[in-house]
């Protein structure tokens, strides 16, 4: 896939990507679109408190919005890699605009019910699931390579600008003009985003003979996630943190209404305080990173979030609630950027979208399960007790998980391209497979243990990059002759494997080859499955 040519020069600094006209326009449109989405969410959450005072019912709105992202993030990541991203984003924006248009009509006619509100929130969640990985994936197309990190940071800043404006504006519109007007404002924001995407002068796709199909790309993404131990650490830390922290999001509408005695505009102000706190947290993050590592930042975020939940459980004055939610916003953006950055750091470019989709699946799965669970606890024990339980759980989990260190992300994930092209007697069809690869080593007896340890590390790389089976065997007649084998599902997948091997993987292979005692490099052979005529 190719993109329109991007000027290589950059103005430097955190705001350098805004010098690129396409990025600036899409960024501004995205901020407006996200603002509209937060306005819609405020209206939906508050209307649910009108329709039902049940904590479980109110929490279901949060769950309905995050469940589709949990279910569809990985397929969305695959679609991001195989479809035209511009057209795909336009289609998703049309879907989201249709959801808000339907909500506007139902609210205006007084026909909005609990079931229709939850169902439409669920469809909106589907749109969010499809859109999330794609927005992240287009960033390298819009700015020079040296500005990609700044562009990602600006996208996070834009979301939190929308988070600080949207809820407050939505609450004011809801209180002054009703839900119909609030939903209508969201529809208008999507039209702006669609117009910006249509204007985007994106280059057409180029043909790639090794382009992945949907199911092949899906399997490759899952294989990588299953074999990547550093990614597992990030996913576990994210699941634990967000499962406990989701309590405050699930119950915040009821906190605003029942504990604090506020109206719709006050609820919007509370959410706006979270967004403003997140912006402040993003601005001080560089200074914090100079003093604390990723594990320290995540522990600090857990402590602050737990304290905020505990204070809210005490039904404080409204002004106190607004202040503590500023701190919650700072803690939330700290946790999000720390975990997202750790996930980004351990993912190579070829699987970045799918790997981040797995991360989003875990994040939204934890938020969904947490929302449903905390809603049920709130139903049984009350809002204040539930917040106290969540705060205590988050605090304990924060200290326990602090011992499971996040990956540093120092590995060089740039493709090394050091594998030679496989020898073939005649052209091989790309869909032919499975393929068996054999690598023959000669290892002296006193180096055997160290060799096997190094090879075990290398086996994870084989699996991450495409192998679905791996093993090591020895020659019964010559124990110093060891053969590593791994299976790949097709010839095309093995050719892709050649392109996926990173510089960090090359270093691992160098450690293994240091124990090879043969006069030449290890012999590599490729064996193809024979499709016998008449075989079942």
Average pLDDT over residues 423-437: 88
Residue 3 has pLDDT above 70, yes or no: no
Task: Say which residue the tokens 């699931």 belong to.
Answer: 129
Q: What is the pLDDT of residue 387?
A: 94
Buried b (16+ CB within 10 A) or exposed e, 177-204: ebbbbbbbbbbebbebbbebbeebebee
Residue 7 has pLDDT above 60, yes or no: no
Give yes or no for a contact between 103 and 112, defined as CB atoms under 8 angstroms apart. Answer: yes
HSE value, Cβ hemisphere, 13 Å, CA-based, for 197: 23
Residue in this structure with the two tokens 């990025």, named with its chain if needed: 23
Q: What is the pLDDT of residues 492-534, one digit of tens each?
A: 999 988 888 888 888 889 999 999 987 788 999 999 988 766 5
What element of type H or E holds 43?
helix 21-51
Q: Is 439 helix (H, G, I), strand (E, B) or coil?
A: strand
Cβ contact 180:108 at 8 Å? yes
pLDDT, average across residues 76-88: 81
Q: Which of 3-17, 168-182, 400-414, 501-515 has the lowest mean pLDDT?
A: 3-17
Surface-to-core class of residue 261, CB atoms within 10 Å of its CB (0-12 exposed, 13-18 middle, 19+ buried): exposed
Distance separating alpha carbons of residues 228 and 348, to the nearest angstrom:
11
Tens-place pLDDT, residues 214-246: 888 888 888 999 999 999 999 999 999 999 999
In sequence order, which residues have a C-beta less than 8 Å from that of residue 370 and are 6 or more positions away? 242, 243, 244, 245, 246, 247, 250
Is residue 326 a contact partner of residue 42, using CB atoms and an 8 Å limit? no
The span from the CA of 47 to the CA of 117, in Å, is 9
Alpha-carbon torsion angle 96, 72, 65, 357, nearest 10: -100
Across 398-410, average pLDDT: 89
Which residue is it, tokens 């950059």?
10
Instruction: Please compute the mean of the pLDDT values over residues 130-157 and round it to a whole number.
Output: 75
CA 415 to chain centre: 22
Q: Is there a common fold for 16-204+213-401 and 435-528?
A: no
Q: pLDDT at residue 288 above 80? A: yes
Q: What is the pLDDT of residues 381-390, one digit of tens each?
A: 989 999 999 9
Q: Give the Cα separation of 51 and 182 in Å (integer).
A: 17
Range list of H helices, 138-256? 139-142, 148-177, 179-199, 214-227, 229-254
What does the chain come to in residues? 536
Q: How far apart are CA 352 and CA 413, in angstroms?
A: 11
Residue 322, C-beta contacts closer than 8 angstroms, at least 6 positions apart: 269, 270, 273
Q: What is the pLDDT of residue 208?
A: 62
Q: What are the phi and psi torsion angles at 14 (to 5°)? A: -65, -25
Cα 513 from Cα 412, distance rounded (Å): 19
HEC string of 507-526 equals HHHHHHHCCCCCCCCCEEEE
CA dist., res. 459 & res. 226, Å (int): 13
CATH 3.30.70.100 holds for 435-528: yes
Question: What is the mean pLDDT of the segment spanning 77-85?
Answer: 78
Which pair of tokens denotes residue 108? 């205006």
pLDDT of res. 253? 85
Distance between CA atoms of residues 298 and 343, nearest Å: 14
Domain residue spans of the chain: 16-204+213-401, 435-528
pLDDT at 395 over 90: yes
pLDDT (tens digit per residue) in 324-367: 999 998 898 889 878 877 887 788 877 877 888 888 888 878 88
Look at residue 452 and tell me whether its pLDDT is greater than 80.
Answer: yes
What's 48-76 look like in SS3? HHHHCCCHHHHHHHHHHHHHHHHHHHHHH
Q: How far apart are CA 133 and CA 285, in angstroms?
A: 24
What does the DSSP assignment read for 285-307?
HHHHHHH--HHHHHHHHHHHHHH
Rounded distance, CA 121 to CA 49, Å?
15
Which of 162-166, 177-181, 322-326, 509-513 is predicted least confidently?
Answer: 162-166
CA distance 455 to 327: 47
Nearest to 468 by CA among 453, 495, 452, 490: 490
CA contacts within 13 A on the Cβ side of 158: 25
Grade residue 322 by pLDDT with cuts at 50, 70 and 90.
very high
SS3 assignment, position 415: strand
Mean pLDDT across the chain = 85
Query: Phi and psi (nearest 5°) for 262?
Result: -95, 170
CB 415 within 8 A of CB 351: no
| pLDDT score, position 136 | 74
Q: Please give the CATH topology (third level) of the domain spanning 16-204+213-401.
A: Growth Hormone; Chain: A; (1.20.1250)
Other Cβ atoms within 10 Å of 146 Cβ, number: 12
* Three-state DSSP class for residue 164: helix
Q: Which of 67, 69, 71, 89 is nearest to 79 (CA)?
A: 89
Model confidence at 205, pLDDT cuts 50, 70, 90, reads low
């Amino acid at each position: 896939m190719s993109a329109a040519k991007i000027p290589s020069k950059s103005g430097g600094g955190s705001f350098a990507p805004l010098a690129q006209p396409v990025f600036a326009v899409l960024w501004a449109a995205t901020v407006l679109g996200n603002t509209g989405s937060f306005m819609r969410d405020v209206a939906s959450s508050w209307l649910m408190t009108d329709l039902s005072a049940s904590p479980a019912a109110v929490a279901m709105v949060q769950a309905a919005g995050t469940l589709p992202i949990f279910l569809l993030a990985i397929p969305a990541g695959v679609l991001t890699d195989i479809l035209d991203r511009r057209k795909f984003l336009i289609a998703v924006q049309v879907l989201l605009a249709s959801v808000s248009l339907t909500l506007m009509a139902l609210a205006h006619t007084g026909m909005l019910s609990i079931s229709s509100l939850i169902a439409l929130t669920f469809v909106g969640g589907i749109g969010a699931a499809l859109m999330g990985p794609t927005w992240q994936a287009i960033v390298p197309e819009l700015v020079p390579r040296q500005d990609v990190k700044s562009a990602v940071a600006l996208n996070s800043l834009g979301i939190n600008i929308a988070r600080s404006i949207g809820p407050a504006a939505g609450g004011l519109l809801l209180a002054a003009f009703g839900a119909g007007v609030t939903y209508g404002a969201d529809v208008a924001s999507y039209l702006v985003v669609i117009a910006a995407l249509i204007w985007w002068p994106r280059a057409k796709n180029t043909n790639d003979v090794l382009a992945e199909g949907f199911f092949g790309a899906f399997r490759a993404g899952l294989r990588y996630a299953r074999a990547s131990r550093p990614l597992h650490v990030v996913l576990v830390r994210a699941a634990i943190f967000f499962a406990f922290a989701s309590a405050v999001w699930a119950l915040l509408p009821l906190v605003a209404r029942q504990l604090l005695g506020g109206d719709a505009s006050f609820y919007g102000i509370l959410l706006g305080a979270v967004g403003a706190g997140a912006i402040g947290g993003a601005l001080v993050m560089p200074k914090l990173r100079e003093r604390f590592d990723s594990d320290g930042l995540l522990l600090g975020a857990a402590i602050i979030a737990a304290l905020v939940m505990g204070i809210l459980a005490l039904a404080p004055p409204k002004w106190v609630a607004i202040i503590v939610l500023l701190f919650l916003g700072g803690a939330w953006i700290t946790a999000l950027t720390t975990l997202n950055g750790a996930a980004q750091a351990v993912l190579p470019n070829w699987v970045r979208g799918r790997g981040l989709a797995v991360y989003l699946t875990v994040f939204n799965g934890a938020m969904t399960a947490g929302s449903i669970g905390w809603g049920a606890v709130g139903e049984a024990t009350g809002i204040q007790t539930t917040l106290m339980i969540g705060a205590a759980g988050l605090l304990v989990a924060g200290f326990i998980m602090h011992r499971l260190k996040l990956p540093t992300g120092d590995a060089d994930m740039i493709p090394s391209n050091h594998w030679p092209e496989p020898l073939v007697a005649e052209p091989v069809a790309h869909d032919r497979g499975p393929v068996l690869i054999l690598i023959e080593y000669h290892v002296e007896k006193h180096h055997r243990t160290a060799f096997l340890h190094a090879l075990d590390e290398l086996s994870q790389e084989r699996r991450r990059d495409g192998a679905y089976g791996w093993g090591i065997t020895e020659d019964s007649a010559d124990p110093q002759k060891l053969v590593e084998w791994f299976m790949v599902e097709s010839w095309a997948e093995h050719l892709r494997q050649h392109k996926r091997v990173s510089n960090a993987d090359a270093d691992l292979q160098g450690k293994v080859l240091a124990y090879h005692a043969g006069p030449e490099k290890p012999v590599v052979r490729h064996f193809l499955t024979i499709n016998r005529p008449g075989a079942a």
